[in-house]
Amino acid sequence: MKIETTPIEGQKPGTSGLRKKTRVFMQPSYLENFIQATFAAIGGGAGKTLVIGGDGRFFNKRAIQTILKMAAANGVTKAIVGQGGILSTPAASHLIRLNEADGGFILSASHNPAGIDQDFGIKFNGANGGPATDTLSAKIYDATLSITAYHLADTGDIDLQGVGVVHLDDMEIHIVDPVESYLALMEQLFDFTAIQALFAGGFTMRFDAMHAVTGPYARAILEETLGAAAGTVVNGIPLEDFGGGHPDPNPIWAKPLMDLMMSDHAPDMGAASDGDGDRNMIVGRGIYVTPSDSLAILCANAHLVPAYAGGLAGIARSMPTSAASDRVAKNLGIDAFETPTGWKFFGNLLDAGKVTICGEESAGTGSSHVREKDGLWAVLLWLNILAVRKQSVSEIVTDHWQTYGRDYYSRYDFEGIAPERANTLMTGLGAKIPALAGQVFGALTVAKADAFSYLDPVDGSVSENQGVRIFFESGARAVLRLSGTGTQGATLRIYLEQYSATDIALDTQSALKDVRDAALMICDLEAIIGRSRPDVIT
């Protein structure tokens, strides 16, 4: 096999979850550096089996060809690739586990817009199907700084349009239907017969695939298998630019779906997923279910579904996610874990059998069935629960609030802040923490504040400075942290929460007014970044 080695000049990608402008990835040797560094970090490619696929965005096809040629030249024995280069993130996680692969490359920038002037991303997942650990990420990063050449098989492009096995030098490439094994997994987890009966009984739904990767999955599962009416799935053909949209399933970016669900002709349920299929949005007729509430409600009802009939081992939520799921864990008598933002922290807990369901306020929910969050899984879990309880989304949510009280919740994002200013704000806030307790801000008094630090109960690692938490005596909480996934400037996220045991019918923003005012005062937002209005409120 002829191997071409090319010196790498100057490109220094970051860690395992690399997300940059597409044109950055298109620079000579940039992607190649990351791939070769990953092979260096995992002890070489020789004898390994890898899963490769992506969300279909612009540059997906090119990147997959490069990765396949590099995998062959690095001695990989078997590559499992989604037909056309397509795999949703949860489906890729499942394929790694199902095939006992050594890991996989997932090409996506999640919900970020796609196109030559938008974003691209790549990450390496390990043998458990989950995102690389911090230790492996650090190894990959170090290797990007030290490698001097990469290996690439000198061959033409591989045709990925048909399903089957092809060879690239000594490497077998198994081109698989992206949906097939994922659908089989969902069939094992859920009572498809009950969901079929629900649709057969006239239940109506709209699933907005937002021109991204879940279109083919949703069509095959909802329409072709479960009997949802044709046309239930909209925007179902994945496009390289996601139709020019922003495939983030929240009330802002999925506005057409929200408008429909709040109108007189709303179907029984609305749902959407993001660019790579790991996020979900759930809307009932006239009611948006916040991701934090959705997590809590799914956990409280999971026992009604075959996969979770034996109960949950525990529940994990990311720190900024509301405390609603903690209340459910308490009621069930199981452990509740609070982890830093990002799915990778759930992996250890899932692997150790300490939790069964996990979730984040940013519309990610998942379980032990894979090691990524899973958009369609969450939709199917809701459908299965609706089929068993024979109530509407709204009835189930209201009943939950009546039982547990309601955690009013909203996130404010301030985007494109100059990084120095964002750092000034966070450093200033950090310095104030020790003196905050007892201070009054408008209508609220601070009970306690800290910079969140996480001790992983499985491997003992510590992650510090994962955001500032401010708890108030009223039962409110404000969290401030900087986003780690943006590609332009800094994004400040302010997460607001107010619990009420009895008042469950207030307007969310009114219920959060006091905590919002207090949070903005405490961090000196206006003085430091020169504005007080968020770019996005979810």
Tell me the catalytic residues: 110
Q: Is 456 in the site for Zn ion (CB under 5 A)?
A: no
Distance (Å, whole) CA 38 – CA 157: 22
Distance (Å, whole) CA 29 – CA 32: 5
Distance (Å, whole) CA 419 – CA 54: 30
Residue selected from 49, 362, 384, 538 as contacting ligand G1P according to rule CB under 6 A? 362
Closest CB to ligand G1P among residues 131, 215: 131
Distances in whole angstroms, Cα of residue 341 to Cα of each of 278, 314, 498: 15, 18, 20
CB of 109 to Zn ion, least distance (A): 9
Which residue reads 């990002």 in tokens?
A: 342
Q: Is 273 in the site for ligand G1P (CB under 6 A)?
A: no
Site for ligand G1P in 99-128 (CB under 6 A): 110
CB of 342 to ligand G1P, least distance (A): 5
Q: Is 343 in the site for ligand G1P (CB under 6 A)?
A: yes
CB of 495 to ligand G1P, least distance (A): 9
Site for ligand G1P in 409-468 (CB under 6 A): none
Q: Which does 274 bind (CB under 5 to 8 A by kind): ligand G1P, Zn ion, none?
A: Zn ion
Residue nearest to Zn ion (CB): 110
Nearest partner of 274 among 409, 372, 417, judged by Cα: 372
Q: Which does 419 bind (CB under 5 to 8 A by kind): Zn ion, ligand G1P, none?
A: none
DSSP 484-513: SS-SSSEEEEEEEEEEESS--SS-HHHHTH
Residue 211 neighbours by CB under 8 Å, 6+ apart: 235, 237, 238, 239, 242, 243, 245, 247
CB of 360 to ligand G1P, least distance (A): 4
Closest CB to Zn ion among residues 123, 279: 279
| Residue 106: both structure tokens together | 């997932």
150 CB-contact burial (10 Å; exposed 0-12 / middle 13-18 / buried 19+): buried
Q: Is 342 in the site for ligand G1P (CB under 6 A)?
A: yes
- In this structure, how many other beta carbons lie within 10 angstroms of the beta carbon of residue 257? 23
Site for Zn ion in 298-337 (CB under 5 A): none
CB of 373 to ligand G1P, least distance (A): 8
Residue 509 neighbours by CB under 8 Å, 6+ apart: 410, 516, 537
Q: Is 493 in the site for ligand G1P (CB under 6 A)?
A: yes
End-to-end Cα distance, the chain: 53
DSSP strands (E only) in 269-308: 269-273, 280-284, 287-289
Residue nearest to ligand G1P (CB): 483
Residue 113 neighbours by CB under 8 Å, 6+ apart: 119, 241, 242, 244, 245, 246, 247
Site for ligand G1P in 301-320 (CB under 6 A): 318
CB of 273 to ligand G1P, least distance (A): 12
Residue selected from 191, 360, 456, 497 as contacting ligand G1P according to rule CB under 6 A? 360
Distances in whole angstroms, Cα of residue 50 to Cα of each of 71, 132, 499: 9, 14, 45
Q: Binding segment for Zn ion among 110-118, 167-175, 218-226, 323-331 (CB under 5 A)?
A: 110-118
Closest CB to Zn ion among residues 50, 213: 213
Binding mask 461-490 for ligand G1P (x = CB under 6 A): ----------------------xxx-----
DSSP strands (E only) in 177-266: 205-208, 233-234
Q: Binding segment for Zn ion among 106-114, 140-148, 316-324, 436-444 (CB under 5 A)?
A: 106-114
Residue selected from 38, 301, 341, 348 as contacting ligand G1P according to rule CB under 6 A? 341
Which residue reads 């089989």 in tokens?
A: 184
CB of 24 to ligand G1P, least distance (A): 18
Q: Which does 342 bind (CB under 5 to 8 A by kind): ligand G1P, Zn ion, none?
A: ligand G1P
Q: Which does 318 bind (CB under 5 to 8 A by kind): ligand G1P, Zn ion, none?
A: ligand G1P
Binding mask 64-103 for Zn ion (x = CB under 5 A): ----------------------------------------
| Residue 293: both structure tokens together | 């509430």
CB of 303 to Zn ion, least distance (A): 28
Closest CB to ligand G1P among residues 393, 426: 426
DSSP 98-117: HTT-SEEEEE--TTS--STT
CB of 293 to ligand G1P, least distance (A): 16
Nearest partner of 67 among 137, 59, 141, judged by Cα: 59
Question: 407 - beta bridge partners?
Answer: 499
The radius of gyration of the chain's CA atoms, rounded to the nearest angstrom, is 23
CB of 89 to Zn ion, least distance (A): 6
Cβ(97)–Cβ(181) under 8 Å? Answer: no
Site for Zn ion in 238-277 (CB under 5 A): 274, 276
DSSP strands (E only) in 193-275: 205-208, 233-234, 269-273
Which residue reads 């092809």 in tokens?
A: 166
Q: Is 250 in the site for ligand G1P (CB under 6 A)?
A: no
Residue selected from 278, 293, 361, 372 as contacting Zn ion according to rule CB under 5 A? 278
Q: Is 119 in the site for Zn ion (CB under 5 A)?
A: no
Catalog residues that contact ligand G1P under the rule CB under 6 A. 110, 318, 341-343, 360, 362, 364, 483-485, 493
Catalog residues that contact Zn ion under the rule CB under 5 A. 110, 274, 276, 278-279
